[in-house]
Structure 1
Amino acid sequence: MTEEKPTKSANIFDVARLAGVSHQTVSRVLNDLPNVRPATRARVEQAISQLRYSPSPAARALVTRRTRTIGLITPNVTDYGPTSIAMSFTVAARAERYSVETVSAPDSDPASVRDAIEALLRQRVDAIVLVVVDVGVLEHVRGLDLSIPVVASASSARRSPLIVSIDQYRGARAAVRHLVDLGHTNILHLAGPPQAPDALERIRGWRDELAAHRLEAVEPQHGDWSAASGYRVAGGLEIPPGSAVFAANDNMSIGLLSALRERGLRVPEDVSVVGFDDVPEAGYLYPALTTVRQDFSALGELMMQKVLVAVEEPDGVTEDTPLATHLVVRASTAAPTR
């Protein structure tokens, strides 16, 4: 380990750099958590001593009253994405020896979210995490100024150090690019709810990828993430043979596939379909669904690490790049035959 002049202003990232580890590992050592090799722990402790590092006064005050409990506010929905995020975060929190107190609130009601936050504060949680599915709630979260960290999972073109996300925008562009590469020029979009941040980012990606190839973007039709809404919207959607449809989630794709069959349109011979999420059933549909996979487990871990850094080194929280998605190509897409 190289020598470095001690400094009173050292932070957790300085310790990590000197010890040659991640700031998450330093956090685990500071919290005396397991799964750190003895040699690594010794190296981190030596770096802490050499740099004379101690958490900031605000973090020290927080440590003295920690309950090792995190408040998790989830939307009052059963959609695959939000429920997967909540589950993944809970798993990551328990791995760090934190318990999670979960409260659900109406997904489009900032006042209910505020009430949920106040209830969690009365339980003296160490931090609050929100799964955001409404732009009104997202703006409310941006304006919060509490005595404890508030971390949110939300998609937005406007980034923030305490907001983490999966890259919906680039995921949507990859889906549309796949269809363009196959030769499709008429690519429709079955969008999610107009107030949903994920839906807005996927619309933005769809529009921008079409524009990059000088293709027309017909006004998207909105569903509510459910298979029933995909079926309903697709039943009245003008879909000429040779078209392609990018659906904003896999559940709506399921309804779309059913509606297309009833209309006598074959997938992918007449119409190609791409979904988003890669739900466990996607590979078992007929035809198997081409879709965009999201790594909810990685998002849960990122949210938890963001909480730990925000608690221990409030001034050290930095903005993260949205997590990448992965296009999974299956049988529901093919080159147009007409």
Structure 2
Amino acid sequence: MRRTPSLADVAREAGVAPITASRVANGAENVDEATRSRVLDTMGRLGYRPNLAARALATGHFKSIGVLTSSMRSPGNMWTIGEIVTAAAERGYTVTLLPFELRGGETVVNAYDRLTHEGVDGAIVVAERRLDDDTSITLPPGVPVIFIDAGGGDEYTVIDSDQAGGARMATEHLLDLGHRTVHHIAGPRESYAAMRRLAAWRRVLEERGLRVPEAPIGDWRSTSGHEAVDALLADGATAIFAANDQMAFGVLQRLHELGIDVPGQVSVVGFDDVIDADASWPPLTTVRQAFDEVGRVAIADLLERIADHDRPTAGVVVPVQLIVRGSTAAPA
């Protein structure tokens, strides 16, 4: 049986001292690039695999990050998680992904507890549902934690797109076109992002002294947007702002079935700018979230907290952008 190559074998083949090979294996920076490259090439050629447990004991770091997510079905979540994995790999970290079904704070705590037993240096919680309004979240101390797209309270850093700002952009865009009010299809009540968008939409209408229509509650799927249209039209809707692109697609489908011209008779705006939002007919005006930027910011902030556990918590808001396409126009 072939013997597994050791770090000493790597040092001998690369012509460096064992301590130098150890520094390269542990990701230390006090090694010149030519030597580092030679040692890494030798590791690859010999098939050397570092002893992660030994490295953790020596450095105090596992070079691993945990990601807990409440939804594997959300395109936005998966986009953000994909960028987290990429950004972590660029920094030499692996990612352990642990999905959980969020029905209260206890499941978050249990998932976190299971994750920390895997040996991670920090954790990122990606949760669509609210965690701060009706559930007290207190995670056991141990590793730094960052929340994305959820309210983690003042105790934790929360990184998110500008949900309220994006909803304001969408609503003001439709009003500035000349619509007398804007009807809204909200996302689920338990969604942190949906409630932020709903509140911002209502605030804009109130600030302008306009009628605030009843907002049906959807479930993010196109079917809920489709089902809401008839009631909105009966209420005189000429502009509809859906809380995400999928529901906006359902709105476009129903309007097409009814023979209602978009944007000639009704304008439609979504939120997210998912892939192919520009391929709908007409192309969807929407609010673009920078899901990849959220992931990169989360990794950068978390690694700083791993290096300095006393770093103050802070809320980080990533800007959004209104993308105007063919689904909006001035009212007839």
Give TM-score, length-normalised by structure 1: 0.77
Q: SS of 1:100's equivalent? A: strand
Q: SS of 1:97's equivalent? A: coil
Task: Kindly provide the amino acid, as one letter, of the partner of residue 183 in structure 1.
Answer: G
Q: 1:319 aligns with which of 314, 317, 323?
A: 314
Task: Kindly provide the amino acid, as one letter, of the partner of residue 84 in structure 2.
Answer: F
Q: 2:202 aligns with which of 196, 199, 207?
A: 207
CA distance in 1, matches of 2:29, 2:321: 32
Task: Kindly provide the amino acid, as one letter, of the partner of residue 74 in structure 2.
Answer: D
Residue 245 of structure 1, CA deviation: 0.4
Task: Kindly provide the amino acid, as one letter, of the partner of residue 168 in structure 2.
Answer: R
Residue 145 of structure 1, CA deviation: 3.8
Greater Cα radius of gyration, structure 1 or 2: 2
* Partner in structure 1 of residue 115 of structure 2: 120
Higher RCO (CA 8 Å, separation ≥ 6 residues): 1
Residue 207 of structure 1, CA deviation: 0.9
Give me the CA root mean square deviation: 2.7
- 1:106 matched to 2:117? The reply is no
Q: SS of 2:272's equivalent? A: coil
Query: Tell me, which stretches of 5 or more residues in structure 2 are unaligned?
Result: 1-25, 35-55
| Superposition pairs of residues 163-242 of structure 1, within 5 angstroms | 163-239=158-234
* Cα deviation 1:48-96 (Å, max 9, x = unaligned): xxxxxxxxxxxxx998331111111111341222222211211111111
- State whether residues 73 and 102 of structure 1, in contact with CA within 8 Å, keep that contact through their aligned partners in structure 2: yes
* Partner in structure 2 of residue 243 of structure 1: 238
CA distance in 2, matches of 1:33, 1:331: 52
Task: Kindly provide the amino acid, as one letter, of the partner of residue 282 in structure 1.
Answer: A
* Partner in structure 2 of residue 266 of structure 1: 261
Q: 2:144 aligns with which of 140, 149, 157?
A: 149
Task: Kindly provide the amino acid, as one letter, of the partner of residue 290 in structure 2.
Answer: D
Residue 200 of structure 1, CA deviation: 0.5
CA distance in 1, matches of 2:330, 2:58: 59
Q: 1:308 aligns with which of 278, 282, 303?
A: 303
Q: SS of 1:202's equivalent? A: helix
Q: Is the alpha carbon distance of 1:300 and 1:138 closer, same or farther for their aligned partners in structure 2, counting shifts above 3 Å? A: farther
Aligned positions, number? 285
CA distance in 1, matches of 2:292, 2:242: 23
* Partner in structure 2 of residue 26 of structure 1: none
Give TM-score, length-normalised by structure 2: 0.78
Q: Is the alpha carbon distance of 1:159 and 1:202 closer, same or farther for their aligned partners in structure 2, counting shifts above 3 Å? A: farther
Residue identity over aligned pairs, in percent, reads: 33
Q: Is the alpha carbon distance of 1:168 and 1:239 closer, same or farther for their aligned partners in structure 2, counting shifts above 3 Å? A: farther
* Cα deviation 1:80-128 (Å, max 9, x = unaligned): 2222221121111111111001011114443332222121111111111
Residue 238 of structure 1, CA deviation: 3.3
Query: Tell me, which stretches of 5 or more residues in structure 1 are unaligned?
Result: 1-29, 39-60
- State whether residues 73 and 103 of structure 1, in contact with CA within 8 Å, keep that contact through their aligned partners in structure 2: yes
* Partner in structure 1 of residue 19 of structure 2: none
CA distance in 2, matches of 1:109, 1:301: 28
- State whether residues 306 and 317 of structure 1, in contact with CA within 8 Å, keep that contact through their aligned partners in structure 2: no
